[in-house]
Structure 1
Amino acid sequence: MTRSIRLKGKVIIVDASRDYLEGKAQNALRPEDITRIVTAHKAAVARLSTAAIVECHNY
C-alpha cells in the first residue's frame, strides 16, 4: 500500500505551539524548531487522526 493511500482521509497533528522565536510583529521558526517539527512528523510521534476527530476537537 502506498503512503498516499494509507494516509488518505487522515490528518497528522504536530503540536509545535512552543517551538518558535517571539518577535515584535511576527514570530519566527528557527532552524532547530523546524528540525524538531520534521523529526516529530517522521518519527510518527505526531498523532494520526481522521478528519472527523479533528473537527470534534475544534482543531
Structure 2
Amino acid sequence: MTNSRFHDLHHHVTSMLVMPCVDLNTVRELLGHSDLKMTLRYAHLALVHKAAAVDLIG
C-alpha cells in the first residue's frame, strides 16, 4: 500500500503532459486552471527532460 494522495497524482499527470512537450497553456486548459501560475506549480520536469531541452540549443 502506498501513501499517495490525489495531490500527488495531480503533480504526476501534469508532469506527464509537460514532458512530451504539451504546451503549458493546453495543460492549463485541460486541468481547468484559470491562471498559468497554478499550472506551473504542478509541472515538474525530470532532469533528463531538462537536459534534452538544453541539447536542443546546440
For normalisation by structure 2, the TM-score amounts to 0.27
Larger gyration radius, structure 1 or structure 2 = 1
Greater strand proportion: 1
Name the TM-score, length of structure 1 as normaliser.
0.27
Relative contact order (C-alpha < 8 Å, sep 6+): which is higher? 1
